[in-house]
Amino acid sequence: MNSKVIILLVVCIAMVVAAGCTGLPAGIIDTSSSSQDISNGRLQSESKMADTGSAAPLPLPTSTPVQSGSGTSAIETKIIKTASLTIEVKDVPGSVEVLKNLATREGGYISSTNIQNNYNNRLTGSVILRVPAAEFENTLTGVKAIGTVKSVSTQGQDVTEEYVDLQAQKTSYQNQLAQYNEIMKKAVKVDDVITVQQQIDRVQTELNRLEGRLKYLDSRIDLSTITVNLQEPEPVGGETGHNFVSTINEGISGFFGMIDAVIIIFFTLLPLIIIGGAGYGIYRWRKSRKVADLPEVPERK
């Protein structure tokens, strides 16, 4: 009986120990030794390749897939705001100065100005304002107040999707560049160095292009663009008063125009004149021949 009890106790202890081992959480298993062995094996393999001059290429990183759709809900909406107005003002140069002061007051600046005198001595101008997006509506209201608005249009271009895509691509290229730089530190053979450097140049070029595009979008998003076309009112009844100098100029212009017309007509009819002159010469020559061939009539005594 005692031996049976002892055997039963041993079996119970074995079952408890087995249950305790299988119930251990996976997180307490020590994997540091296996990871270290793998890392050491990889380093030994790379060292062996460098020592033996093997032609096997260095491992190159692949492009990280870009998932532009993930997390877009947390991204701030990117809107490019623009407006175009045509305003009738009494003084175009003075209105340009008013717009300059308005842009400066709202924290922006004047991108370009252009004033010209058209054919009927009416001044026209064009002014492009760049103002912070937060002050877009206030600036637009101030622009409308300088004169009579003839036309106005506003646009809002949503570039959020493009902006997120560019940011994701930029992160991917930055990761690739960091990996290539690490590989370059381990490269020994000349062929490997050249190959890795070519990849670094390619990735750096794409990264510069993306950063340039992002800077352009940031500039358009942060600073809205307002284009203002200025024009003076048309005088009632057209030009007033008599301009003697203009009359003389128009007379001189008509005189030279008539001379030009005569010259054009002359050279247009020149072939007919030549043919007609030649025909008339032949006619006179034949007529003179006939007169010479006639018998002389004796004179009567």
Average pLDDT over residues 272-290: 83
Task: Compute the distance between CA of residue 147 and CA of residue 228 in angstroms, rounded to an integer.
Answer: 11
> 143-176: per-residue pLDDT in tens?
999 999 999 999 999 999 999 999 999 999 999 9
Give the model confidence (pLDDT) of 5-35 as tens digits. Answer: 444 544 454 454 344 444 333 333 333 333 3
> In whole angstroms, what is the distance from residue 146 CA to residue 88 CA?
9
pTM of the model: 0.54
Q: What is the pLDDT of residues 79-126, one digit of tens each?
A: 999 999 999 999 999 999 999 999 999 999 999 999 988 767 788 999
Amino acid identity at 60: L
Secondary structure letter of residue 85 according to DSSP: E
Measured CA to CA, the distance from residue 92 to residue 230 in angstroms comes to 6
Res 182 pLDDT > 50: yes
How much of the chain is in helix, strand and coil states, percent to nearest 5? Answer: 60, 15, 25
Residue 74 has pLDDT above 70, yes or no: no
More confident residue, 208 or 233: 208
Q: Can you tell me the distance from the alpha carbon of 72 to that of 163, in angstroms, rounded to the nearest whole number?
A: 10
What is the widest separation between alpha-carbon atoms in the chain? 203
Place 296 in a pLDDT band, splitting at 50, 70 and 90.
low
Give me the amino acid identity at 126: S
Q: Quick check: 222 and 133 in contact, CB under 8 A?
A: yes
Query: In the prediction, which pLDDT does 175 show?
Result: 94
Q: Which residues pair with 79 in a beta bridge?
A: 158
pLDDT of residue 293: 65
Q: What is the mean pLDDT of the chain?
A: 76
Return the pLDDT at 20.
Answer: 43
Say if CB 193 and CB 187 are below 8 A apart: yes
pLDDT band at 300 (very low <50, low <70, confident <90, very high): low
Tell me: the pLDDT tens digits for 38-72?
Answer: 334 433 434 343 443 444 444 545 444 444 444 44
**How is 129-181 classified by DSSP, letter by letter?**
EEEEGGGHHHHHHHHHTTSEEEEEEEEEEE-HHHHHHHHHHHHHHHHHHHHHH
Residue 2 has pLDDT above 50, yes or no: no
Contact 180, 200 (CB under 8 A): yes
